[in-house]
Structure 1
């Protein structure tokens, strides 16, 4: 029973986290290439450190300590690489096309969880993830091939690794501590890269970057909570819920009206997420 509760909570955290991540994609799209990727990476991480600092200072000295410095350093640079790739892909690709590739991350997490965590998903989980991935391709069907698609793939790979590695973080390490050190460790490299690509930024661009930083920070925190509570193979499907948010935001902000094929794709994604066993018990 406790494991079932943990899994339910983890799925809930991922759904809310993906809502925030989808909103972050929208803010990056609205930047419309006005800020260089390196400058964006540095400012986003700097704002994240500033936002977390007051919360980190309030926890005890013992809780502030970093238990896994090398793992945190690795995850920090995954965030850096992923954010840069994400900005490039969203800037040069339609939002739907970029997100179609982003949502390869949950699929990549299945083999990664086997290799890195020795977690073996059931055959049913593999089939369900495959069906959901087909739904992703149907709804957000890439209609063009572009060099920026490689950057979108880079985002998917780094996101999958970032979430998988959360399972290796010490459970006694708080989310605030994890987020603070992850953001802080990414600053030196980000600052160095941004120096050579610095340009003036308008107030509007500052606001979009700050919003993106806050939203991704919330996603990262919820992802840590989720993947520390349940095996990746059991909850990775919940990452696909962000697809629904992206479609809705596409209608709202960019006038992308879903057609019949899109609706069919959404059904393919939602079906594997339904608690079929629970439904059967209620009959």
Structure 2
């Protein structure tokens, strides 16, 4: 198990120890340590190389099925119950923590943008505050994807109505950005050994098969909206350092869905970085007041 306090051999330094101790990225320390532990697990080392090519093959199979039948299968409840079952019985506590945490961060970032871009108006979105794995069963992943598109549509229509544009705000409203995310205790049984990246590769073909072709396409391409949300935050804060750390770009030119699993990992990292960046700005503004 990776330990940030482990002794260092100068002739063989641990790359993950260096990355964990590094402070160049504005990442929450506990989340970063959880990600490092997950990335150094035996599951990621030995299982992921086997799972990834099989998973991408199954995505192709699922898309061939949807060429013939674009709207069938369509079983979002079965998909989310299966995901929740896997999370509860097979994923590491760190993987589960990062998954549940992601929904909170995404919801907070969207609320921050609307608080400052259109004060008094907030798009009507599904709540994203899961405290336990069972909350995933309520189509949480699908609602997360829908939220981002519904947010962009409602926010920009309201800005058009007001004749408003995104511009730096002198005193930003950071009330949506929380420093702590509270979750219920997570399972840590002897079977809870699957790391986050391997789990995502397994879930992605299930997502492709059990949702309609339109739902999967929309979910996959929502990842490229990392750039859009990052630009919104940059224009409101007047700061753009975080944009260099966004890897899912160019939403008008969709990427192949075959790499959706890896891009989802990048999406999670981008969300953590943007949220950490906003927390830094929040603390900086509090000192000035």
Structures share fold, TM-score greater than 0.5: no
TM-score w.r.t. length of structure 2? 0.29
TM-score w.r.t. length of structure 1? 0.29
Instruction: Tell me which of the two structures has the higher relative contact order, counting C-alpha pairs closer than 8 angstroms and 6 or more residues apart.
Output: 1
